[in-house]
Every structure is written in structure tokens, then in C-alpha cells.
Amino acid sequence: MKVVKIPAALALLIMTFFVITSEAQTSGPLDRVYYGARLELKDMIYNGAGQDPAGFKNYFNVMPAGIKPSIYMQYFQLKDLTPNDFNRFAQDLFFYEKKYNVYLVPQIGISMTYGLAAGEGSSCYDKEVAEGLYDDKIELLCRLLDGLGHPVFLRIGVEFNGLSWYGYTPQPFVKAFKRITDAVRAHNLEAATVWNAAFNWSRSKGLRLDNEKYAYMQYYPGDNYADWWGLSMFPPELFNHAETKKFLKNAAAHKKPVMIAETTPINIGTDNGQQDWNAWFKPYFDFIDKQPIIKALCYINWDWAQKSKEYNLPWGDWGDCRIEANSTIINLYKNEMGNPLYYHGQDEKALRRALGVDDTVPPGKAAAVTAAFNGSSVDLTWQPAEDNTKVLRYEIYKNNKFLCTTYKNTYRDGDIEAGSSLSYTVKAVDAGANRGASADPAYIKIPARIAKAAGGDFESDKHEWTVREWFGERLIFSRETRKPLAGKASAKLYVEKASGTNWHVQFGHFFKSHTGMKYTLSFTIKADAPTEIEVLLQQTHEPYAAIIAVTVTADTTPRKFTFVNTSPAQDDSLFLSFMCGKANKRTIYLDDISLIETK
């Protein structure tokens, strides 16, 4: 018997490959690992793109039918999260499904930073998230995810170990990750959390996953909290980098599928066609093909010079990385995406089958739908429908038009018009994407006078009141319960940093206005020293016109103001805004904010 001696380096490579492939169940001819994680496909890799609506749209449009993306990558700042911005994203998902029959899976990055490149601790607020100071925003996030009607990859913190650009440190990050995950799961949302690392660079050690102070595993929230592991991968040397191989091996040891959550050929681009394909794209796809633990990819389809200028980012020299910018690149890319290894955007039934659910039996009918007016919105409830597998969510229809979805059997509709007559019905959707019959409708007549900004007395919680900041400004919103202006609590606004431009720091409430209605705004305001506040009912889109725009002076004496507007020009989305950009280092108290719509 002849003994063949295997070189040590080759033996190590074989052993590493064996560990990655053998510690998970393999499935199908493509030999992809399968751990049964939330939203994990058994045999395939999600094809995804982003990282803004325009970049995704260009990628989607240039890809032929049959190989459209299945993941839509987008980002939201937790502290700035608003229903208005999120609803634009929801409308995008609805558009692609209705026009192209492509049911997308969002990959949503939730940032906990004030701004990039500020260094350790100074640019992030993960500690405040961990301590519960942003629980109202986490609750809003859960409510907005509930209304999407799509399963979601939730990338908490975006890139946890980017110490020099995000500033997270391990202990508060882990607590914040857990706090958000606990809330998402308490709401029974169809969401998979992604724990995503990025490579750091140092002069002495080169590219590493450990940053200059902390090992990346110090940021790990634990196997019960991280559903997927993720990597941001840019320069081509990462594809065969020792740190990459260690990360994948570690993910296998924890039985976690891996998403390439961000990727783009920085400093190479797509201008030079075949040359750029050989330099970046070919080794990239070879890497993916050889790593069976990779189950999703998300390509950043950007011209970085243009996008860096648009979003005020420091990466304008990264090149034009749009696949549609070069005919050679796009043709080769389409050919690669034709590989049966990739899962592309299809209808929801196809996604459910790919996720292992093969169910053709529709659910039963929801029953006993009730609608009750509560002063500013309509509360809906119904009896759950039955199904042979599982009722996944409910679709709600208002006046026979689709309104939204929810995983619960309750819903609050805040988009109502004074004096209107409404009907509501509900359909159940099961785990196989089958729809049940419509429930018997509930009818309700809305009074001629309704509140448009709930919770303006701040007695119980923060409701939908929100802070909006630009250019590094900061406003801290809390409830004052020791010495409120009225009742048991007031809104307390501390303007920690403001530039002197009023609109850079805002506090307020989003609402829908209606043509022909009268709007009456009243509020009580006080400040710790005289300061000027601009108050507007303003459009949330260009030309940002206001139906009420006034300037008030707040001082140490509480004062009540009342303003009236009649008949806005059109149905619209507005923001009731208290602009505080001229109130640097001032503390402002607000109470009894009332916005009444009258027919």
C-alpha cells in the first residue's frame, strides 16, 4: 500500500473545508449548508441589491425577468425613525410586487450612530438604547415592520465592529442588540437578525476583523439572538483572506448561515469592463461558489462619487460600481446570475416553497371584525382565522382598498378623515401565501371633529412624537413628570447641540391632512430662558409648503398659543414641527398640544 504524503498547508485547507461543510446538514445538488435559521433557504443564495431606492431600482431594471433581485437593502437611523420615511419604503415593496410580481425580502440596516468617523463612543448611542431610552423608537420599529407584510432581515447596528466609524463598544452594543431583538420577537414578527462584521485596517496589522481595541467576538450577543452572521466585503484580497476563512469557520461552529451584507468593487469599479471583471467580479463569484455557508449577497449598485456627494459621505473616490454602467460587466453579471445557485425575486408562493412550505390549502375566514373610534384613530379587532399550517398575517382593507398588513389580530388606523364613513374587512394569509376569504365588514362613521396628533398631553407615553435632526445637531426628548406644565407629564426637550438654523432640529408629529378641512393647533410652551421657536404644519416633500407657519417666543412663563387654517389645497402628508435650531442649550417644555381636524 502506497502512502501519499499531503503537504501541511493543503491538509489544513482540506480540514477547514471539511469543518465548514460537515457541521451542517447539506441539501441538494448545490451542496449548500442548511442550519434551519430564520429565513434561510435550503439550497440557494439570495440575490440582493441596494443600498438606496435609486441604486436598487437601477439594479432591478437592468436584470432580466427571472433573475430579478430577491433582497432589497435599505437603511434607517433608529433615533430618526418616522412612519413617513418607512412608509415610502413600504410603498416601494408594494410597487415591485404589484407591477412585477416580485415579492421582495427587505434587508434593513438599523443604525445607532449620530454620524460617521467620530471615533470610539462619541458617534453612537447604543448605550442609551441598551438603557431603554429609545424604547419608544424600538416599539415604533416593531409596529412599522408589522405593517410591511414581508419577512425582513434586520441588520442591527449595521457594522458592529467599525470602532473608528460607528464607535460601538462591546458591552452596550450587545445589550442594545438583545433589547431590539427581544422586542422584535415579542411582537412575533417574521424577522431574522443579522450580526454583521466589517474589516478594519491598521498600518501594523493590515486588514483585520478585530478592531484596534476589541476582538470581534466580544460584540457577539449569543446564538439565541443572532440568526445570521454577516460580512461587509469590498477589496478583492478579502475573498481569500485568512481572517475571512476564520470568520466562516467560526460561523459554521455556531451553526449560522452567512450573508454578504454589503459588497461592491471599491477602487476598481466597472468602467474597464473585462479588466474589472477579472480583477473583482470573477474572484468574488468564485469565492461564493466555494463557500457553501454563504446564503445571501447584497450588491451596492452605486456610483460612489455621485452618491457620496448626495449623502455627504467620505467615499467619493471608490469609483463607479454600477453594473449597468458597462455593457461587458452587465452581460457577464447576468450570465453569472443565471447560475441555479441563486434565488431570484419571484412571487410569495415561490419564496414560501423555497423556505420549505408547500401548502395549497387557504386559511379560513377571520370573524367578528369590530371598529371603534378612540378620538384620533380607529381601533380594529377580529377573531383569528384557522389554517392547516399557520396563519402568518392579516391583510386589512378599508373601503374595499388595501390598507396594510399585520401579524396580530388588532390594528389601529390613524389615517382617517373627519366626517367620513368607513368600512373595514380582513383576509388571512397563511404560511404558504394562500389567502382566505374576506371577513364580514365592520362599518363606522367618523365624527366631524377629530384629533390628528394623539398623546399631546404626554400623560402616558411618547406615542408618535418624534425628533428629527440634521448635520450633527442633537435634541433629547423625555417626559417631565416632576414639574409638568399640566396634568402628570409634559414633553421635555433639551437642545444639546444646534447650529442656529431653525429647521436643523425639529420635534413633532406626522399626520395626514384633507382638502376642505379646518385645522386648529393649540399648545402650551415654556423654556428655561427666552428663545425663538418656529411652528409649522409643513409638507413632508418638496416644495415643503406649510399650511400654518408661525414664530413664537418661549420664556420662563408657560404660554398658550392657538392658530387656525382652513382648507389645505390637497390631501397630503404633513409634519407638525416645533423647530428648535435656534435654541442651543435651551430646555423647552411642551404640553396640551392639540391639532383638531374639523369638517
pLDDT in tens, 257-310: 999 999 999 999 999 999 999 999 999 999 999 999 999 999 999 999 999 988
pLDDT for position 540: 87
pLDDT for position 3: 35
Residue 464 reports pLDDT greater than 60: yes
Q: Residue 43 burial (CB < 10 Å; 0-12/13-18/19+)?
A: middle
Is the CATH code 2.60.120.260 the one for domain 466-598? yes
Cell of 98: 404589484
Residue 215 reports pLDDT greater than 50: yes
How do residues 479-507 score in pLDDT, each as one tens digit?
A: 999 999 999 999 999 999 999 999 999 99
Same fold, 367-447 and 466-598: no
How do residues 321-373 score in pLDDT, each as one tens digit?
A: 999 999 999 999 999 999 999 999 999 999 999 999 989 999 999 999 999 99
DSSP code per residue over 383-440: EPPP-SS-EEEEEEEETTEEEEEESSSEEEE----TT-EEEEEEEEEETTS-B-PPPP
How do residues 585-596 score in pLDDT, each as one tens digit?
A: 999 999 999 999
Backbone angles phi, psi at 481, to 5 degrees: -115, -10
Q: Residue 101 burial (CB < 10 Å; 0-12/13-18/19+)?
A: middle
How confident is the model over 415-419, as a mean pLDDT?
Answer: 94
How do residues 365-400 score in pLDDT, each as one tens digit?
A: 999 999 999 999 999 999 999 999 999 999 999 999
pLDDT for position 117: 56
| pTM for the model | 0.87
Quote the distance between the C-alpha of residue 559 and its chain's center.
39
Mean of pLDDT over the chain: 90
Query: Where are the chain's structural domains?
Result: 8-72+95-112+191-354, 367-447, 466-598
Bridge partners, residue 429, by sequence: 393, 435
| Neighbour count for residue 237 (Cβ, 10 Å) | 12
Query: Hey, what amino acid is at 248?
Result: L
Handedness of CA 234, 302, 191, 83 (dihedral sign): positive
Residues of the chain with pLDDT > 90: what percent? Answer: 78
Residues 348/150, Cβ–Cβ less than 8 Å:
no
The single residue listed with the C-alpha cell 449595521 is 158
- In terms of Cα–Cα distance, which of 229, 129, 228, 222 is closest to 169? 129
Return the HEC string of 292-357.
CCEEEEEEECCEHHHHHHHHCCCCCCCCECCHHHCHHHHHHHHHHHCCCCEECCCCHHHHHHHCCC
Length of the chain: 599
pLDDT for position 121: 58
- In terms of Cα–Cα distance, which of 416, 379, 411, 378 is closest to 393? 411
Residues 429/435, Cβ–Cβ less than 8 Å:
yes
Compute the distance between CA of residue 134 and CA of residue 296 in angstroms, rounded to an integer.
30
Residues 177/195, Cβ–Cβ less than 8 Å:
yes
Backbone angles phi, psi at 97, to 5 degrees: -70, -45
Is the CATH code 3.30.70.2740 the one for domain 367-447? no
Compute the distance between CA of residue 198 and CA of residue 218 in angstroms, rounded to an integer.
14
How confident is the model over 236-254, as a mean pLDDT?
Answer: 96
Residue 45 reports pLDDT greater than 60: yes
Residues of the chain with pLDDT > 70: what percent? Answer: 93
Compute the distance between CA of residue 237 and CA of residue 410 in angstroms, rounded to an integer.
51
- CA 393-396-397 angle, to 5 degrees, is 150
Query: Model confidence at 9, in pLDDT bands (50, 70, 90)?
Result: very low
Compute the distance between CA of residue 510 and CA of residue 514 in angstroms, rounded to an integer.
14
Q: Which of 60-64, 119-123, 156-160 has the lowest mean pLDDT?
A: 119-123
- Residue 31, sorted as left (phi over 0), alpha (psi -120 to 50) or beta, turns out to be left
- In terms of Cα–Cα distance, which of 265, 301, 351 is closest to 48? 301
Backbone angles phi, psi at 500, to 5 degrees: 105, -10
How confident is the model over 468-485, as a mean pLDDT?
Answer: 90
How do residues 87-140 score in pLDDT, each as one tens digit?
A: 889 999 999 999 999 999 999 999 998 866 555 656 789 999 999 988 989 999
Residue 529 reports pLDDT greater than 50: yes
| More confidently predicted of 477 and 461 | 477
Compute the distance between CA of residue 265 and CA of residue 275 in angstroms, rounded to an integer.
12
Compute the distance between CA of residue 385 and CA of residue 389 in angstroms, rounded to an integer.
12
| More confidently predicted of 313 and 581 | 581
Compute the distance between CA of residue 408 and CA of residue 379 in angstroms, rounded to an integer.
13
- In terms of Cα–Cα distance, which of 456, 451, 453 is closest to 596? 451
Compute the distance between CA of residue 209 and CA of residue 337 in angstroms, rounded to an integer.
29
Peptide bond into 29 cis (omega under 30): no
How do residues 563-586 score in pLDDT, each as one tens digit?
A: 999 878 788 989 999 999 999 999
Beta strands in 126-208 (DSSP E): 152-156, 191-198, 200-202, 206-208
Bridge partners, residue 266, by sequence: none
Q: Residue 507 burial (CB < 10 Å; 0-12/13-18/19+)?
A: buried
- Residue 87, sorted as left (phi over 0), alpha (psi -120 to 50) or beta, turns out to be alpha
| Neighbour count for residue 150 (Cβ, 10 Å) | 21
